[in-house]
Amino acid sequence: MLFCLVQSLIPGDPNDYDDQNKETISNEPQSNKFITKESIQSYFAVKRKEHLDAVQTLLKFQRYEQKFEMMKKIFEKIFETIESSRANVENSNYVIGEELPQKSESIQHILFILDNCAFFGNLVLKLPDISKQLLKLETRWTEQYKWCFSFAINSNIIDKQSSVMFNLAAQQLNLIPRNEDFVNPYEEKTIKQKKLKKANSGTIDTKTKNTQTKKSKGPRMSKVEL
């Protein structure tokens, strides 16, 4: 059951790509027609929601061990797909950043790279601590994402929102310098700091309230006493 759930969370593998999926991406019947930058950006707008839904599914699991095992299987499948698609793209005549190829198979592999890289980036940002542990075990995955990040940014075909996400994931992995105000609210250390700050704030508020209460309970002279 766990494996089936993992499979359902991972963006498609080129080997499992069918005609129906091809039509979904191009929004046109299957053909060798040129796919535009705009159609790809529309595709990613839909995929972003799917990625977020998948991440939310993972976040619902309470046990760390279960999340870890799920993430491991997902990462393995993601980078297996990326590696396969990368080989196809590098063997084609496509030059990153230039005009998209006419060959539909090459376009499919470009989309698989971007789609899986985007999914990985979302996982790294939303589940940073487990991701960090997994990337320590498989250092090659970080290098593969480094290539993906460069591919995505230089492709000039992803939309602005996706570009921001790729950039944040690269900062999270320290592949590029972090912005001064970079904070990941999903990191355990950030969560602990927030809880500590809230607890300290509550203590200060309680002390202030008690002091004010004590002052109000002090002896007061009334007009009658005078």
As a whole number, mean pLDDT of residues 121-137 equals 95
Q: What is the pTM of this model?
A: 0.75
pLDDT tens string 84-121: 999 999 998 888 888 888 788 888 899 999 999 999 99
Banded model confidence at residue 5, pLDDT cuts 50, 70, 90? low
CB distance 71 to 130 below 8 Å:
yes
pLDDT of 83: 94
pLDDT of 22: 42
pLDDT at 48 over 60: yes
Q: What is the DSSP letter of 185?
A: T
Sign (positive or negative) of CA dihedral 195, 201, 207, 212: negative
Tokens of 24: 């979904």
Domain coordinates in residue numbering, the chain: 2-172, 187-226
CA dist., res. 225 & res. 42, Å (int): 80
pLDDT at 30 over 70: no
pLDDT of 10: 66
pLDDT tens string 135-161: 999 999 999 999 999 999 998 888 888
* DSSP string across 16-71: G--HHHHHHHHTS-SSSPPPPHHHHHHHHHHHHHHHHHHHHHHHT---HHHHHHHH
Best CA proximity match to 142, nearest among 154, 125, 124, 163:
124
